[in-house]
Structure 1
Amino acid sequence: MFFRTESFRDFIRYYPVVSSIVFIQVVIWLLVYFQTSIGFTLLNEGIGMNALINQGEYWRLVTPIFLHDWQGITHILFNSFALVLFGPALEQMLGKLKFITLYLGAGIFANVFGYLIAMDSTTLSLGASGAIYGLLGLIVYMIFFTPGLIDPASRQLVLSYVMIGLIMTFIQVNVSIPGHVFGLIGGFSFGPLLVNNVNPYKRPRPRPRRQHHSGVNFDPNRWQKRRRFKLNGNISALLWWALIILAALGLIGPIILPFFR
């Protein structure tokens, strides 16, 4: 359910909303990282700042969902990977409109509660973590209230991911605890509204490629040559698990690395 075997082109075609969100946030991060004028404008006008929200700039409860830490690549890389990992199945199961409602709704829910409980008006917020935890929250709702929608292996993966993520949320520094916790709660609370007439995830079948039969310059061994560059299912699964392990290390790395120095 959460292992991707589609080609890049098929992934974009099957999951246009997830692809668009990743594209938008990566482009914005690049514009800020390379210190472009457009990037600075987007950052200055979009970052969550409680003092400015107090003055009526309420769009700052929405725009931080698409902004990430520009001083390093870990933040944008981790959130984009998590979205690609958990988003496609939900986009197919819920449909585009419900998925967008979940993603933005959970992100806004997390930002609003982060704003309400903040003690300091100078508090800043940015990142898609609240929206990502919203996806996880809805999956947790499915696990407990509609168990037929989530297979056992996927249930174990999601619950382990959520437990590790929450533990690291309270251990790591510079992490928005309200963003993670209330994003998860927000996604869970959307369950009764969104999980109606939802079917289990079905992996899309790749579109068959057209074969041109021609006797001119035909190489009978060309298909065998191409097979050398294809990964079979087992290798793809191993690579995907390797990416999941790297994501987990991204959570616990700052905790364990000092012991090896």
Structure 2
Amino acid sequence: MFTRTENFRTFLSLYPIVSLIVCIHLVFWFLFQLPIPAIQLFLGLLDGYNAGIANGEYWRLITPIFLHMTFSHLFFNTISLILFAPALERMLKKVKFILIYCISGIIANIATYLIEPLNYSHLGASGAIFGLFGVYLFIVYFRKGLIDQANSQVIISILVIGVIMTFFNSNTNVVAHLFGLFGGFLIAPLFIKKSGRFVHQTYYSPQSRSFSINKFKAKHIAWMIFGILILIGVLVQFN
């Protein structure tokens, strides 16, 4: 479910929305690196600046979801998307997936605006990414037929450690993490049906020229959790 075996072309074909979001991340990060005043001024209008929102710049409630200042911030948020978002995109399809992703991020940013001071400014996809984990959490507890026990354990482990580590760095937008998670959990019932089976992962096999199911093997769980712990630890450090 969280192991990627696709080649680049197959990944683009199977997960077009995830691929598009990653592309947007890369484009905006590249623009951040250009020492062109006009571009820097434009980007300055897109971050989650609370005073700007108070003045009616409501686009700042969504645009920060796609912005990252440093390469480390970009890298670890993007890797999180590549690992954890594809399964949801396949289950929900394009429109529902992008709605959940954006709504979770907006909820996180609204909460940040309401709770943090007016001079607070932020950017990053972590609120939306935590929203996806909120959807997974809903599936684990209320749509148990859509996910197996091994993957459920991975989800719970990621969430517990991710939430704990959120509080251990002063640069982390704690509000966005928590309310993104809460928002994803709350809106999940609107998008996740009771019926159906969860497809763990599909990949293209050049030998068979067809798609097949790659079942998540229990022996991979320990390595997966180990890698995810490192990933989340560094991710929250730069958020």
Instruction: Give the Cα separation in 2 of the matches to 1:153 and 1:247.
Output: 20
Instruction: Give the Cα separation in 2 of the matches to 1:178 and 1:249.
Output: 17
2:66 paired with 1:66: yes
Instruction: Give the Cα separation in 1 of the matches to 2:145 and 2:72.
Output: 35
Instruction: Give the Cα separation in 1 of the matches to 2:96 and 2:196.
Output: 11
* Correspondence for 1:150 among 147, 152, 161: 147
Deviation, structure 1 residue 204: 2.3
- What SS does the corresponding residue of 2:204 show, helix, strand or coil? coil
Deviation, structure 1 residue 201: 1.6
**TM-score scaled by length of structure 2:** 0.86
Instruction: Give the Cα separation in 2 of the matches to 1:181 and 1:22.
Output: 23
Equivalent residue, structure 1, for 2:14: 14
Q: Which amino acid aligns with 1:200?
A: F
- What SS does the corresponding residue of 1:175 show, helix, strand or coil? coil
Instruction: Give the Cα separation in 2 of the matches to 1:38 and 1:91.
Output: 36
Instruction: Give the Cα separation in 2 of the matches to 1:35 and 1:150.
Output: 47
Matches within 5 A, 1:167-206: 167-196=164-193, 197-206=195-204
Equivalent residue, structure 2, for 1:115: 113
Equivalent residue, structure 2, for 1:244: 228
Instruction: Give the Cα separation in 1 of the matches to 2:162 and 2:229.
Output: 13
Conserved? CA contact 1:29–1:76, under 8 Å: yes
Instruction: Give the Cα separation in 2 of the matches to 1:23 and 1:108.
Output: 20
Deviation, structure 1 residue 39: 4.2
Equivalent residue, structure 2, for 1:34: 34
Conserved? CA contact 1:28–1:39, under 8 Å: no
Point out the more displaced range, 88-97 or 157-166. Answer: 157-166
Change (3 A) 1:181 1:245: closer
Equivalent residue, structure 2, for 1:105: 103
Conserved? CA contact 1:28–1:67, under 8 Å: yes
Unaligned residue ranges in structure 2 (runs of 5+):
210-215
Equivalent residue, structure 1, for 2:47: 47
**TM-score scaled by length of structure 1:** 0.79
Conserved? CA contact 1:50–1:123, under 8 Å: yes
Unaligned residue ranges in structure 1 (runs of 5+):
212-232, 255-261
Deviation, structure 1 residue 131: 0.3
Equivalent residue, structure 1, for 2:212: none
Larger Rg belongs to: 1
Aligned length: 227
CA-atom RMSD, angstroms?
2.5
Query: Identity across aligned pairs (percent)?
Result: 43
